[in-house]
Amino acid sequence: MEDLTASAREHFNAVKTKVTAYFATPASQGYQIVPPSYGAIPVQATAANGLQSLPSDATKIEPKVWLASERTFLNWLRVSLLISSFALALFNSAAVGDNVTKGMGMTYAVISLGMLGYAWTMQERRRHRIINRYSGHHDEIYGPVIVCGLIFVAVLLNFILRVNQREALRHNPTPKNPWFTTVVEQVQTAFVVDW
């Protein structure tokens, strides 16, 4: 019984050493810890009038921080405008009874409006953090992943609905050249030609 206990204790100590080494901090491994301040000062307590009290030698906010925030906002607007243009094209090109195309156009329009709202919210959050000299990261982790996931689901749904619609129309095939067929039909009706 004691051999089993000693063996279990050795196994436990080996596992504990591996886990400790795996979750070790950078300082314990000999690396220098870099402060996450990016040169900004920590947020000070607010005064009685509600304004932030900064020390007399407050750090200057670099213009590149503001410009990076604006550039990110403008990139989000550009992508949203692209998707909304695609939604408008889908909606306008839909035939009279084509509810699939109209529905997908509306879906892309809703995604585009959601992206606009997200971009504006993140821009305001970044502006607030910059003004208050937030010393942490300004990264967006979940927003882009969610937007890409929504666009992927919309494109996949569009594809599935189109394939199903084509299968339903399989018994009524479209002509090889619809423009030519339309012109021929218009000429036939204009001149009342029986072929």
**DSSP symbols for 151-190:** HHHHHHHHHHHHHHHHHHTTTSPPPS-HHHHHHHHHHHHH
Average pLDDT over residues 44-57: 55
State the average pLDDT for the chain: 76
Q: By CB neighbour count within 10 A (0-12 exposed, 13-18 middle, 19+ buried), where does 147 fall?
A: buried
Is the distance from CB of 53 to CB of 46 less than 8 angstroms?
yes
Q: By CB neighbour count within 10 A (0-12 exposed, 13-18 middle, 19+ buried), where does 138 fall?
A: middle
pLDDT of amino acid 37: 53
pLDDT of amino acid 170: 66
Higher-pLDDT residue of 127 and 22 is 127
Average pLDDT over residues 122-151: 86
Which residues, other chains included, contact 127 with Cβ-Cβ below 8 Å and sequence gap of 6+? 69
pLDDT of amino acid 180: 64
Average pLDDT over residues 180-188: 68
Output the pTM of the full model.
Answer: 0.56
Please say if the pLDDT value at position 38 is more than 80.
Answer: no
Structure-block tokens of residue 31: 């690396």
pLDDT of amino acid 122: 92
Higher-pLDDT residue of 42 and 156 is 156
pLDDT tens for residues 160-180? 888 887 776 666 656 566 666
Please say if the pLDDT value at position 10 is more than 90.
Answer: no
Please say if the pLDDT value at position 53 is more than 70.
Answer: no
Closest CA to 150 of 100, 103, 110, 91: 110
Residue reference for tokens 């304004």: 51
Share of the chain above pLDDT 70, in %: 62
pLDDT of amino acid 52: 57
Q: What is the DSSP string of 33-95?
A: PPPTTTTPPPPPPB-TTS-B---TTPPPPPHHHHHHHHHHHHHHHHHHHHHHHHHHHHHHT--
pLDDT tens for residues 70-117? 999 999 999 999 999 999 998 888 888 888 888 999 999 999 999 999
Please say if the pLDDT value at position 141 is more than 60.
Answer: yes
pLDDT of amino acid 179: 62
Alpha carbons 92 and 101: distance in angstroms, whole number: 9
